[in-house]
Chain A
Amino acid sequence: MCLGIPGKVIEITGEGVTRTGRVDFDGIVKEVNLAYVPDISIGDYTIVHVGFAITQLDEEAALETLAHLQELEAVEVELDPDAALAAEEAAAKGEE
């Protein structure tokens, strides 16, 4: 039920329920219905499921999530595992 792949909007035509776009997935371009993402613009990323854009991909959130994960990797846990864990939990809670 859930196969949704991120792609970049490279062209938009029409409006309303027939608003359609060409979305680029690493060289594969597919025609995608954009009716459900009326605020999306060219250059934005979207998640596509069965030929429909179901949401705009929040690039900032994506980068934040990755940064958070990479930070964790850098933390030196050998010294004080509990403190590291606590710091991480606090950061996670702060984001919500």
Chain B
Amino acid sequence: MIALKKDHMELLLKWRKQARVKDAMLTEVNHSLEKQFEWYNSIRNDPSKKYWLITFEEKPIGVINLSEIDQVNNKCSAGFLIGEESFSSLGAIVLPALYNYIFKKRGFLKVYGSVVSSNKTILKIHEIHGYRQIGYYEKHILKNNEYIDIILVELMAENWLSKKKFASYEAEWD
């Protein structure tokens, strides 16, 4: 995984504006490239966030990230998007490499997050990876003029590390 750079913003913006990506995300992006550069400047030196470009044989296919990195309590959130639609099946494959990085290399205790309730695919992927649903916020976000529910999830280190079938999924992290 290559650390996200300013040069990647145009591609990332194109991916974020795709309907299938918008539907899956908590936030919608409709802004300009200038605004995208502003976003990049806001995250690049933020110690609570880390973004990487996902590449497959050097072809950029998506973005994966950590956010809300809390080195005191050893927890973080994680996210990803596969921008190149023909690689969208790899969504559930790239996450195990990230979890091995989080739990083995960084030594974190948990990953936690929020999922749009209509995103059944990622909820199922989370289930396969060992997440548990801990609750939900009802009508928590206004999206497309409709209030939507948010499911709260977490994955504990001991649960992930007990899943031997994903132990070999590794990646290099810039």
Whether chain B is bound by chain A comes out as no
Chain A residues near B (Cβ < 8 Å): none
